Amino acid sequence: MSDTNTGVPSLVGAPLPSPVPADEYERCPVTEVVRRIGDKWTMLVIVLLGRRAHRFNELHRGIEGISQRMLTRTLRALESDGLVDRQVFPTVPPSVEYRLSPLGRSLLTPLSALADWVVEHGDELGRAGGTETDVVGPGGGPA
């Protein structure tokens, strides 16, 4: 299912015979996206906009702790990524609505998979054991 010849030959697949050169990983597509949405606020915005369209200050109040600056930046980034659509109403006072683009909405699906994982395994994260460093006896190792 995940298997297309784009550099991501299914993450869960068995160890492939030809261990793809390092260059392939350098521009790993998953990494790209994760880095895109991996910053401090992006995910929160996506989640909020995943529910319904929001106006600027609506988001500003909805995401406690975010500054105007970062909200603007985050929205601009999402916009230029084509994940959110921005709609300006030239009223007085002006108002702007942000909503997830079709592309952005399609992203919600894999994101839900992640959410599912967190719901199921999230409690095992954090401090999964301080000293599980498993030392085997001499002579058993590779080198």
Partner DNA sequence: CCGCATCCCGGCCGATACTG
Partner DNA sequence: CAGTATCGGCCGGGATGCGG
Alpha-carbon gap, residue 30 to 25, rounded angstroms: 10
Question: Nearest-CA neighbor of 59 among 81, 89, 84?
Answer: 84
Q: How far is the CB of 142 from DNA (least distance, A)?
A: 8
Q: How far is the CB of 68 from its own copies (least distance, A)?
A: 16
Q: Could you say which of its own copies, DNA, none residue 100 binds, taking C-beta under 5 to 8 angstroms by partner kind? A: none
Q: Could you say which of DNA, its own copies, none residue 99 binds, taking C-beta under 5 to 8 angstroms by partner kind? A: none
DSSP letters of 21-87?
-HHHHHT-HHHHHHHHH-STTHHHHHHHHHHS-EEHHHHHHHSTT--HHHHHHHHHHHHHTTSEEEE
Q: Could you say which of DNA, its own copies, none residue 136 binds, taking C-beta under 5 to 8 angstroms by partner kind? A: its own copies
Q: Does 17 bind its own copies (CB under 8 A)?
A: no
Amino acid at 111: L
Alpha-carbon gap, residue 143 to 61, rounded angstroms: 57
Number of residues that bind its own copies (CB under 8 A): 94
Q: Could you say which of DNA, its own copies, none residue 124 binds, taking C-beta under 5 to 8 angstroms by partner kind? A: its own copies
Residues that bind DNA (CB under 7 A): 39-41, 55-58, 60, 65-70, 72, 75-76, 86, 88, 93-96, 143
